[in-house]
Every structure is written in structure tokens, then in C-alpha cells.
Amino acid sequence: MLPWAYSLRLPHDPRAAGIARTTLRAVLARHDLGEFTDPATLVTSEMVSNAYRHTTGPAEVRIRAVEEGRLRVSVWDTNPDIPSPFDKPPGFFDRSAALTEAAANTEATYGRGLLIVRICADNWGGYAFADELFGRSGKLLWFELAPRPGDVFEIAA
């Protein structure tokens, strides 16, 4: 398995989430990781949309393979505030609790997007950057998807 990573810099533009989705689909298809396409696209789209909605600056998406066949997607933006659930690691029952919350709030018109992270992702986290640390400020949010039991694949070079 050869490690790989792709980065995509996005301007503050309402079309950024669509461009991120298209890029992510192409990367996953090229690396034969189609089983990750739906959940990765959904969560990435939500994160890039939030970056657009809650900042006035650019964003950046990084897609990479990590050990044990996992996929990690990171989104950097200029807002330093770490939203829930990225402020703490996932709990054992987080996915089922998120499903219960979503079912209880079917009429909600906003605020459900980060439930998507709790439902789809296997792991997540976030880091705030101090003013201009490494030439950047803001935050980096990330999530990981792991292969499901029985999935057999390898990362293509």
C-alpha cells in the first residue's frame, strides 16, 4: 500500500462544496475506494458548506489514505471555533445516539448537518490554529472512514 494525499484549495464561493464533492469522487474512483464515496461525499460536503457559511475566507480539503485501509478527509477554514462533535472524540454509542436525535428532529430546518458526521464517520477531531501558526489561523476538522467488516480492498497506487 503506497500512501497518497491530495489537497484542494477552495475560495470563499458557494460552489466550493460541489467542487469538493466532484474532486473527492474522482480521487476515490481512481484509488478504487468506491465504498467510501457516499459517506465521504456527504460529510465533506457538509464540512465545506459550513466553512463557507461560517467564514469569509478560503477553505482547503485534504484527502488521504491512512493505515488499515482507512480514509481521512480534513477541512481547514479561517474560523477558529471547533464545533461539536469535533471538540471531543466519538463515544461508543455516538452513532446510535445521533440516529435517535435525527429521528426525533425530523422537522428541523438547520443544525442537523453535524449529526451527519456522527452517523457516517468512524472517527473525527479538530484542531484550532493559533494566530498565523505555520502561516495559518483558523481550524482543521477531520474525519475518518474505516472499511466495514467483510470489505476487502487495497489502496491503488
Q: How far is CA 87 from CA 74, 75, 127, in A?
A: 14, 14, 8
Burial-class residue 91 by CB neighbours within 10 Å (0-12, 13-18, 19+): exposed
H-run or E-run covering 103: helix 94-104
CA-to-CA distance for 87 and 48, rounded, in angstroms?
A: 17
What torsion do the CA atoms of 26, 115, 65, 11 make, to the nearest 10 degrees?
50
Mean pLDDT of 2-20: 95
Range of the domain at 140: 5-145
Which position has the higher pLDDT, 10 or 136?
A: 10
3-class SS at 150? Answer: coil
157 in any annotated domain: no
How far is C-alpha 79 from the geometric centre of its chain's CA atoms?
Answer: 16
Which pTM does this prediction carry?
Answer: 0.82
Over residues 35-76, the pLDDT tens digits come to 999 999 999 999 999 999 999 999 999 999 998 889 999 999
| Beta carbons of 113 and 49 less than 8 angstroms apart | yes
| Per-residue confidence band for 104, with pLDDT thresholds at 50, 70 and 90 | low
140 in any annotated domain: yes
CATH of residue 72's domain is 3.30.565.10
**For 141-155, b where at least 16 C-beta lie within 10 A, e where not — what string?**
bbbbbebeeeeeeeb
pLDDT at 85: 80
Over residues 127-146, the pLDDT tens digits come to 998 766 566 689 999 999 99
pLDDT at 39: 95
H-run or E-run covering 129: strand 123-133
pLDDT at 151: 47
How many structural domains does the chain have?
1
16 in any annotated domain: yes
73 in any annotated domain: yes
131 in any annotated domain: yes
156 in any annotated domain: no
65 in any annotated domain: yes
